[in-house]
Structure 1
Amino acid sequence: MVMMEMRNTLEEMDNKKILIVGNGFDLAHNLRTRYSDVLEVFKNWKSFYGSYRNRKTDTEFVEKIADNTQNALESYYSKNLEKLDKLIEKNSWIAYYSGCRAELDLWIDFERELVPVLDIFDFILSADINFEDGSIKFERNSFFKFNCFFYRYFTILNNKIFVRNDYIDSNYGLKKKKLLRDLKNEFLEFIEALEIYFYEFVEKASDVHPISQIRKIEPNYIISFNYTHTEKYYGIDNVHHIHGVIRDDLDCGSNNMVLGVNDYDNKDFIYFVKYFQRIQKHCGVDYKNFVNEPCIFKSSDEFDKEYNDYELYIYGHSLDETDKDVLKFVIGDFDDRNQFQMKARKVIIYYYDQQDFELKVINLITLFGRDIVEKNMDDNKIIFIKIDSNID
């Protein structure tokens, strides 16, 4: 009787499929979700917003942001665009990222460009300030690049950082809490601007068609690293957005989009760290419950182990170590005996071209080591499949 119950449970688990999607999933559906797509709109905002207000459709830029320009212009919600206009006009983070190098394209580039900003503010918080003029001496030439973007906080001149008077108290020194609060609030406004972009320029302006290769997977559950609702076109109800999701109505609820660095040593900047934001914004860990149910059975070995009860499909995710906590949880990790335990029965990774294939292999090796990757590829437990973007 016990053996029959175990067999039925295992038969049910045989059909369990989990699909992880990253930004490449949205790009495969021709959505403008690249980091560079966002910057394109921010950099050319005055041109677009002027066209929008005048309902003109004769500019090259406006044609780039939507396939059906006239319908797109009419569908934009004026209140959202008015808010975005105000944010773009005054937000230090938008100014900074709009001024970043043109070749930046991926969201991992965004995270990397965030670190040096935190570094300069970290330096300001710990440096000795000349209270007479609010200046801090420095020797790092890299600081000069921030001068025109964060001028509401400081000015850089002659190898000195001059902190604004708003953040200096003649008796007590630097107003650390005020500076951090304002920097954080501006960052939250920046994330709000991103949500408006995704809401108005991606979800409302796009015509999505399901891709046959993805539909054939027939996943039971989707773990999404994207902010969009693209997975809804596949009729999957069980979805967990790791980094939050765009609201259906921007006037209701609060923004729960997660955006930041993987970690930062100085916890004064914890509001810019992704794992804290996931907790703070109640993104939850629903994916863990799905992966682990049922998760333990008594093996013939001398210890209990997790049963490899699902196939894992990864589409459009770079496998970069910035998401290693989630990736290791669903793929596998080293146990207390330093033995690698594969959690998924099989991992199928989709790649776009040879360069993308090589990048994903390199990132896997970074996560798990060469020996683990080679062994599981040889055993056909890690399989690579080239993307076929044919639509249904």
Structure 2
Amino acid sequence: MHVLFLGNGFDLYHGLKTSYKDFLLILQNITEFNNAISRFIDNKNTQDNDSHIFDEIFLDESIEGSSAHKIYELLKDNSWANYYANCNADIQGWIDFENEMLPAIKLMKEVFCKDVRMVWCTEDDWEASISFDSYKERAMMLLWPEFFDERDEYSFLIRNSYFDANYGILKAKIIKKMEDDLDDFITAFTLYLKEFVERRNIEKYKWINDINPNRIISFNYTSTERNYFEKISDSSCSHIHGSTFYKNIVFGTDLIDDDDSDFVNFSKRFQRLFKVGDCSYLDYLTESDDFASITDANHYESLTVSFIGCSLDKNDSSIFRSYIEKADKINVYCYGFSGYKSAMGNLINIFGHDKIRDYLHCNENGVKLNFIDIKNLSINDDTTIICAREYYKDSNK
């Protein structure tokens, strides 16, 4: 049995614009994006000043303006789009991008607990404001103009549509707006992937074709793996975080408590069950036992687990941990020395130094954990397992 895990690095390796930075560029230039696509559709060419947009997305003559315009309409006044376009967070990958949702949620919880100062401007008109001492919180408030307007250096007005003189801050209305905007944000992202990413033709690598897995577990929203493994049925390929095909993309954070009923819709765990509901990947380990039980008594059916483009971050360890622990052989495909170093560090963080040392130790069955550098491979190249000592020496030349 061979189970293959795929992460966003798999799409990036094939030149697909699926990093958070690619979509962030659209968020930060949403009006220019819409205008540039319209010009392209009208003229079938681009202007020089459109290059910063078109360098990041895929265009051909079959692009439909309706999709681009719908993305624009979904994002132009979207509170989450504004937040991510302007938060200037130190984001390294999609997990960081999603987890940056948490500070916004914490801010709203703080807002809901604040004392509101009401000032009657006229007999029929009033202002409701809240104050913050922290510079960080004040900076965060500026990212939510839908709900708040800066009054002075320390206080913000609550927009009238989200405040009632009798009931105070309309907490449920604010959360509902955030939920609706997140749904629109995800819809726009799905359209972006389908229209400007998945239509691109990719070159196929021999070493990937040679893997020949029995089951695939993908953290990706796209179905790039279909270019290689056409014989893998839907029941043998599990998209943990949803897919563009089923329009059930999961976008949230794992850092929200399960008992947080107010913000449960922003929880990745909740969305995974609510939107995807596909837990078939849990059966693959059982199936590996079944494979072994039906083979000849003198033949052991081993379990190989491979990772391509996966960060192996602790946030996703609940998905792959049991596979690594049970596997007879683990192949981690790394993109260069930095990828090797990151994967090694994350695995040690999850399993501990002693267990990873044991995995790297050669026993009667060979080495359990292998790292393979794929950075400089051409289309027809085969892979070579990294020898840590030689690899580290070469990387420091």
TM-score (norm 1): 0.82
Partner residue, 2:147: 153
CA contact under 8 A between 1:213 and 1:390: conserved in structure 2?
Answer: no
Q: Quote the Cα distance in structure 2 between the aligned partners of 1:123 and 1:215.
A: 52
Partner residue, 1:228: 222
CA contact under 8 A between 1:22 and 1:316: conserved in structure 2?
Answer: yes
Partner residue, 2:304: 311
Q: Secondary structure at the match of 2:115?
A: coil
1:256 pairs with 2:245: no
**Amino acid of the structure 1 residue aligned with 2:52:** F
Cα distance, 1:297 vs structure 2:
11
Q: Quote the Cα distance in structure 1 between the aligned partners of 2:263 and 2:343.
A: 30
1:187 pairs with 2:182: yes
Partner residue, 1:250: none
1:390 pairs with 2:378: yes
Trace 1:40-119 onto structure 2 (pairs within 5 A): 40-55=25-40, 56-59=45-48, 60-66=51-57, 69=59, 72=60, 74-101=61-88, 104-119=91-106
Q: Quote the Cα distance in structure 2 between the aligned partners of 1:152 and 1:99.
A: 14
Q: Quote the Cα distance in structure 1 between the aligned partners of 2:174 and 2:141.
A: 16
**Amino acid of the structure 1 residue aligned with 2:8:** N
Partner residue, 2:323: 330
CA contact under 8 A between 1:347 and 1:382: conserved in structure 2?
Answer: yes
Q: Quote the Cα distance in structure 1 between the aligned partners of 2:269 and 2:322.
A: 14
Q: Quote the Cα distance in structure 1 between the aligned partners of 2:313 and 2:224.
A: 22
Structure 2 residue aligned with 1:244, among 231, 242, 249? 242
Cα distance, 1:214 vs structure 2:
1.4
TM-score (norm 2): 0.81
**Amino acid of the structure 2 residue aligned with 1:90:** D
Which deviations, in whole Å up to 9, do the C-alpha atoms of 1:81-136 show, x marking residues without a partner? 12111122111111121224387452123023222111111211232323444322
CA contact under 8 A between 2:37 and 2:68: conserved in structure 1?
Answer: no
**Amino acid of the structure 1 residue aligned with 2:207:** Q
Q: Quote the Cα distance in structure 2 between the aligned partners of 1:176 and 1:286.
A: 38
Q: Mark the CA change 1:283 to 1:30 in structure 2 (over 3 Å): closer, same or farther.
A: farther
Partner residue, 2:279: 285
**Amino acid of the structure 1 residue aligned with 2:46:** T
CA contact under 8 A between 1:137 and 1:161: conserved in structure 2?
Answer: yes
Q: Mark the CA change 1:215 to 1:34 in structure 2 (over 3 Å): closer, same or farther.
A: same
Which deviations, in whole Å up to 9, do the C-alpha atoms of 1:158-187 show, x marking residues without a partner? 322432222222222222211111111111
Unaligned runs of 5+ in 1: 1-15, 248-252, 300-306, 332-341
Q: Quote the Cα distance in structure 1 between the aligned partners of 2:102 and 2:196.
A: 27
Q: Quote the Cα distance in structure 2 between the aligned partners of 1:130 and 1:100.
A: 27
1:361 pairs with 2:344: yes
Cα distance, 1:281 vs structure 2:
0.4
Partner residue, 2:210: 216
Q: Quote the Cα distance in structure 2 between the aligned partners of 1:290 and 1:256.
A: 22
1:140 pairs with 2:134: yes
Unaligned runs of 5+ in 2: 120-126, 294-299, 381-397
CA contact under 8 A between 2:75 and 2:81: conserved in structure 1?
Answer: yes
Identity over aligned pairs, percent: 33
Which deviations, in whole Å up to 9, do the C-alpha atoms of 1:288-331 show, x marking residues without a partner? 112222548999xxxxxxx9842100010011111121022322
